Amino acid sequence: MSEDIFDVVIIGGGPAGLTAGIYTARETLKTLLLEKELTGGLPAKVDMLENYPGFQDGILGMELMDKMRAQAEKFGVNFGEFEDVSKIVDEGKTFRLITENAEYISRAVIISTGGLPRPIGLESERALLGKGVSYCAVCDGPLYKNAELVVVGGGDAAVQEGIYLTKFAKKVTIVHRRDQLRAQPILQQRAFANEKISFKWDSVATEILGNDHVEGVEIRNVKTNEKSRFAVDGVFVFIGWTPNTAFVKDLLKLDGSGHIITDENMETSVKGIFAIGDVRSKKYRQIANAVGDGAIGALAVSDYLAGIL
Ligand code: NAP
């Protein structure tokens, strides 16, 4: 157990957390970043980022996140990877953060834990996870050369990842519960123009078929209630995210969907605890505004520690 007192512990190593670390460490605040997996967060699992400013030809998600991490390291952020914080205890002037392996004490805390992919909720989806069911196209897409795939969802992630999967698959069917996509127009245009992509509109997946591996899906048309089955080799689910806030649900004010409520300085309902990035209650979730949240949160921590916030 370490009894060092950190100025700030950042929980979560995606773009928001890494940006906050770059700022706080550069201000010579003693900074620890705890991440339950490897740093990089969601963007590290995305192929090409086309709308992150500064890279006119796009940049690979992994490459951008490696650069952010290297910059945070340069300024002296301490990293604890595979450290999952299960509890934050408010001890008055400091906070105690508890993980499976250790406890850390900090004067301020920044939460940037993002979210987890939302599952459809089917028993067969759980049973076939890793056997044809996936939530990560970059991780698993290359396994599906010449395969027939289903993508469930109609938002930016479903359409962008569906297009990415056509690099490998011979056919991608996007199953969406409405007859209009939610995704940005530029992604929609590309998907409609892609000969490998077809759509099943007004449809939800009701069963994923197969024993040892995915062999097909059953879908239901929500307007006619008609069910149909077709053969596929893999099912990729992109129907949104659930915020990683279970560990603070009794400590902080959350909105109806479980995201952390903050003010414009990223302050939560507990003084000294800040929240940034996708985990916080807001309408638009982009890497660019996660980075913005990180900068604001870090500056606010600095002011809080100086007694001027
Ligand atoms: P999202 O925008 O919340 O879209 C989720 C999609 O899944 C929607 O089409 C929704 O249908 C559908 N859906 C939700 N629950 C469902 C269920 N139980 N069964 C079937 N379908 C369901 O989530 P996302 O696409 O993961 O994106 C999350 C955030 O990241 C967004 O803010 C997005 O803009 C951002 N993002 C941006 C980019 C980019 O800029 N290139 C890429 C990826 C993600 P309805 O449309 O009917 O609600």
Ligand 1 centroid–CA 280 distance in Å is: 17
Q: Could you read off the pLDDT of 86-120 as tens digits, one per residue?
A: 999 999 999 999 999 899 999 999 999 999 999 99
Residues designated as active site? 136, 139-140
Q: Could you read off the pLDDT of 22-58 as tens digits, one per residue?
A: 999 999 999 999 999 999 999 998 889 999 999 999 9
Percentage above 90 pLDDT, the chain: 96
Q: Please work out whether the CB of residue 156 comes within 6 Å of at least one atom of ligand 1.
A: yes
* Substitution candidate for ligand 1 out of 239, 242, 284, 286 with most atoms within 8 A of CB: 239
Ligand 1 centroid–CA 226 distance in Å is: 25
Which is the closest atom of ligand 1 to the Cα of 120? 18
Minimal-distance CA residue to ligand 1 atom 36: 156
Which is the closest atom of ligand 1 to the Cα of 121? 18
Q: Please work out whether the CB of residue 177 comes within 6 Å of at least one atom of ligand 1.
A: yes
Q: Please work out whether the CB of residue 151 comes within 6 Å of at least one atom of ligand 1.
A: no
Ligand 1 centroid–CA 165 distance in Å is: 17
Please give the full DSSP string across the chain, using - where no structure is assigned. Answer: ---PEEEEEEE--SHHHHHHHHHHHHTT--EEEEESSSTTTGGGG-SEESSSTT-TT-EEHHHHHHHHHHHHHHTT-EEEET--EEEEEE-SSSEEEEESS-EEEEEEEEE---EEEPP---HHHHHTBTTTEES-HHHHGGG-TT-EEEEE--SHHHHHHHHHHTTT-SEEEEE-SSSS--S-HHHHHHHHH-TTEEEETTEEEEEEE-SSS--EEEEEETTT--EEEEE-SEEEE-S-EEES-GGGTTTS-B-TTSPBP--TT-B-SSTTEEE-GGGBS-S---HHHHHHHHHHHHHHHHHHHTT--
Q: Please work out whether the CB of residue 157 comes within 6 Å of at least one atom of ligand 1.
A: yes
pLDDT tens string, the chain, 309 residues long: the values are 446 899 999 999 999 999 999 999 999 999 999 999 999 999 998 889 999 999 999 999 999 999 999 999 999 999 999 999 999 999 999 999 999 989 999 999 999 999 999 999 999 999 999 999 999 999 999 999 999 999 999 999 999 999 999 999 999 999 999 999 999 999 999 999 999 999 999 999 999 999 999 999 999 999 999 999 999 999 999 999 999 999 999 999 999 999 999 999 999 999 999 999 999 999 999 999 999 999 999 999 999 999 998
What domains can be seen in the chain, in order of their start residue?
5-116+242-305 (3.50.50.60), 119-237 (3.50.50.60)
